[in-house]
Chain A
């Protein structure tokens, strides 16, 4: 698979040319050009993505689309908007499931939702919601805690394709057994089957859950906060960013949160190196739940 990238093409090994770039440098150069093309053409700035992982994704995308090298991809990106849509989709392919890390959801229910009950209206921002599995997980928990009716969940992602799937709320039926297992481990109080309708090989989440969710395109690379939030959930998004972009996004979250608002990050993410740690209290270290403590 990856030989394409590293084995020299005949052209550049001919002795008549001075070969001043090795193959790793050629790929790095091409990726720089690609990222610049995307920035100028579409305004998406991927320069602050973790480089190793975006390189991997670009290579995957190249293979899947049958291209021979990244230079070919640059041409497609510049001239075919549809191809860019596809590229975006590939950039955010991720493993997700309902109630992923059940312990985290259990703690969220116990420690955060209890506090949210003291508010008459609750705003929740699920940033980087991907295909929506976690949004529905949160909605189900809110419902069981009697909170959903006073909640507005803003579920955002920069990938329209993912948002479409999230909004349709239809998932493969064969995944429901795993989701049910997670649901029970996370402290689910009812029967998970009450929240979806199985038809053929699909399961559609109940529309009562969706009534309180607003799906919207929001790009953490460039967009600002849009409302004051009681809780921001952003799991396994920051892992793809470099420290600069992580800091920028965390600042947006900090500004967007109400005093004493909560922030939930992914298992491998933390505020430790961000400069935001002074503005938050870590209330569950393993589950990565933080509470805003300082005013700006």
Chain B
């Protein structure tokens, strides 16, 4: 069946915003994506008390190292000026807002927290939407604050695709619930179905070309 979203529209990037409970959710999702997955993926995981507990919280590279060993796709820390490449996973840093520039490169900002979050999902999603427009997919997963709703809505307004984890399958349902309340989300999916959905969607993209 053709839906609005499966009309000919090639996606270039996927931004993922995730907070409390994120490590388990990402661990479920990211390793299932095949090495040949065609989108660039930018992951923003809030760090701190309720989200990721690493042995050394100050260790910036913890998440990168963690997923490097578990994913088929190559995993990198987002670095200033880095050209974002298809098929790569980039992890946002812990202490800076991450933005995407028009040239599809990363930049950082040290402005105060947005939605009590630094880095903020809204900041990433809004700049990503400005850059990728209708070629962007936004995904909100588990979390206990409302960060990301505005950014996800912006992705929708600019013609991109929005997906939210079905709140009942989220370790913390507040963030996905807030995202669903912010606009008419394209897809609300249980965590276990998201990777298959993304793979099918991108395969369809390629088939359309």
Q: A50-B101, A53-B107, A95-B110 are in contact. Are A239 and B157 (CB under 8 A)?
A: no
Task: Let me know if B163 is at the binding interface, CB within 8 A.
Answer: no
Least Cβ–Cβ distance between B22 and chain A, in angstroms: 22
B58 cross-chain contacts in A, Cβ below 8 A: 103
Give 19 A-B pairs besides A240-B109, A269-B80 with Cβ atoms closer than 8 angstroms.
A6-B157, A7-B157, A24-B130, A50-B99, A50-B107, A52-B99, A52-B100, A52-B107, A53-B97, A55-B127, A56-B123, A93-B112, A95-B110, A103-B58, A239-B80, A239-B108, A268-B80, A270-B80, A273-B81
Q: A24-B130, A239-B107, A239-B109 are in contact. Are A52 and B101 (CB under 8 A)?
A: yes
Q: A239-B80, A239-B96, A268-B93 are in contact. Are A56 and B101 (CB under 8 A)?
A: no
> Which of A38-90 touch B at CB < 8 Å?
50-53, 55-57, 60
A95 cross-chain contacts in B, Cβ below 8 A: 110-113, 118
In the complex the two chains form, is B154's CB within 8 Å of A57's CB?
no
20 contacts between A and B (CB under 8 A): A2-B150, A3-B157, A50-B99, A52-B100, A52-B127, A52-B131, A53-B107, A53-B108, A55-B130, A56-B99, A56-B127, A60-B111, A94-B110, A95-B118, A103-B58, A239-B96, A239-B108, A267-B95, A268-B96, A270-B80
Contact size class for B? Answer: 20 to 34
The number of residues on chain A lying at the interface, defined by a beta carbon within 8 Å of a beta carbon of chain B, is 28
Task: Let me know if A1 is at the binding interface, CB within 8 A.
Answer: yes
B147 cross-chain contacts in A, Cβ below 8 A: none
Which single residue of chain B is at the shortest CB-CB distance from A50? Answer: B107
Q: Max chain B CB contacts within 10 Å: which of A3, A53, A96?
A: A53
B195 cross-chain contacts in A, Cβ below 8 A: none
B118 cross-chain contacts in A, Cβ below 8 A: 95
A60 cross-chain contacts in B, Cβ below 8 A: 111
Least Cβ–Cβ distance between B182 and chain A, in angstroms: 11
> Which of B109-159 touch A at CB < 8 Å?
109-113, 118, 123, 126-127, 130-131, 133, 150, 154, 157-158
Task: Let me know if B200 is at the binding interface, CB within 8 A.
Answer: no
Task: Let me know if A277 is at the binding interface, CB within 8 A.
Answer: no
Task: Let me know if A236 is at the binding interface, CB within 8 A.
Answer: yes
Least Cβ–Cβ distance between A128 and chain B, in angstroms: 11
In the complex the two chains form, is B101's CB within 8 Å of A2's CB?
no
Q: A3-B157, A236-B110 are in contact. Are A51 and B102 (CB under 8 A)?
A: yes
Task: Let me know if A36 is at the binding interface, CB within 8 A.
Answer: no
Q: A3-B157, A273-B81 are in contact. Are A239 and B150 (CB under 8 A)?
A: no
Distance, CA A274 to CA B115, complexed state (A): 34
B80 cross-chain contacts in A, Cβ below 8 A: 239, 268-270
Task: Let me know if A243 is at the binding interface, CB within 8 A.
Answer: yes
Least Cβ–Cβ distance between B135 and chain A, in angstroms: 13
Distance, CA A53 to CA B118, complexed state (A): 14
Least Cβ–Cβ distance between A225 and chain B, in angstroms: 24
Which single residue of chain A is at the shortest CB-CB distance from B102? Answer: A51
B130 cross-chain contacts in A, Cβ below 8 A: 24, 52, 55
B150 cross-chain contacts in A, Cβ below 8 A: 1-2
In the complex the two chains form, is A24's CB within 8 Å of B158's CB?
yes
A239 cross-chain contacts in B, Cβ below 8 A: 80, 96, 107-110
A269 cross-chain contacts in B, Cβ below 8 A: 80
Distance, CA A6 to CA B154, complexed state (A): 8
